[in-house]
Structure 1
């Protein structure tokens, strides 16, 4: 079956039965996370929405007959609480939540907020849930990255902007590159346990993620990256996450990056699409994993 940028999550999952499967969707209380959770639940999965705003999460959960769990990815204590409370296997982990381009903000540990939330929080969640994923006998991790990874590789010498000038988009790009590298290394380490991770760009969707960015800034970015940027609906924006999470075509496939429900090509000069080679580099992925373990202590 061939899909493209106009495909919806419902179209992508057609014919897939998730009865007996258990899924966690971080950031499932709004945006494409809500649509992702709804589509998984409709296909028969037992879905847990992990959300910072538990009340918003509960409203969505009630509507789609799902569970809700509190999760603030910028707080390692919050991540640990979810991990400790989880019981039984986990078949699908969708690392969807994120923060984009805020003013410079640091966590209690002094970590830059975007890297702490988008990467370290999800890294701690996935590694903490490893036993549950391994128990699923064929688990998938979906790492929601972005074309924003093209803004920056991982700057290992100063990940948290202690010395270099903070630029919101460099911080965002670095964190999204980390999301892709995580999928590469998680697959290398965990494939033998039946766990495969892939990353994706959902497309440009108007959601709460852009709350730190005025519309004028969005327009400027669009003009810089080649004029008109196709704006997806939430149903279209969730499609690639659902494809990566459920498509039978991806059984045993990991460490890759997808756009518009297809594996992305390598970025070409002058284009703001495709995947940067640095985001799939296995040596960089292994280095980031080790740095992340050290950072988390």
Structure 2
């Protein structure tokens, strides 16, 4: 069954397709094909939708895809401008496998999250974080969050298909706990590097001084927040698109006490599994030494991307 207003939708759909095609001209060829293929698939879903829910979901995904294309082009344009301004040869950037890049639109299928590989060896952060702690933390504990996140997603998909929501509260809790655990650990491992430390520079440093008064005040506040997390949890430096400034938050477990409308750019894991082998019951010493492996260049890259997200301030 097709909806009577399908003819009415032809012009907006064509306009959206032309807009996506224009933005995608700046994308790599493989990504262009993937984006336009996804667009056409969503258009077919709209055209042949039987249930209203399918129709509206396809429209929402189509709008999100168009927005992604525009933001992706803007970031690519800014990246090119930054490269030209700094007089860095493109080949040098292409060869830098550690650089944070804008990810293409490739949604993770339900229940198919994977453990991100480390950019460094398990012993690379010694003497500040020991090899065995890193191995257990990444290969076993982070992997378990990934496995349990996948399980929760599949169970909720099964509930939708069977329209049986008797256990929805349990699986939503598992989704929140393990999803937050997976995403925060991904940030945590990514923003550390051997031979790093020091202080932030550039735009991130300027923003820290604006929002906290000085880097010293920020570090003291962040360290105290991390030290005083009750039980297992996190200290987070986040960008708030609504307040349009940086804030420091605690998170108990992975998801409690946090804010929804925010983007973490720096994450410190203060669960005991992150430090107990080298720093048994000495969380403060672990926090002090952790700053010696923070890679502020990567944190700045996250900040530079996050600060482009701005909501109407209230």
- TM-score above 0.5, yes or no: no
Q: Which has the higher contact order (CA 8 A, sep 6+)?
A: 1
Higher Rg: 2
Q: Which structure has greater helix proportion?
A: 2
Q: Which structure has greater strand proportion?
A: 1
Normalized against structure 1, the TM-score is what? 0.26
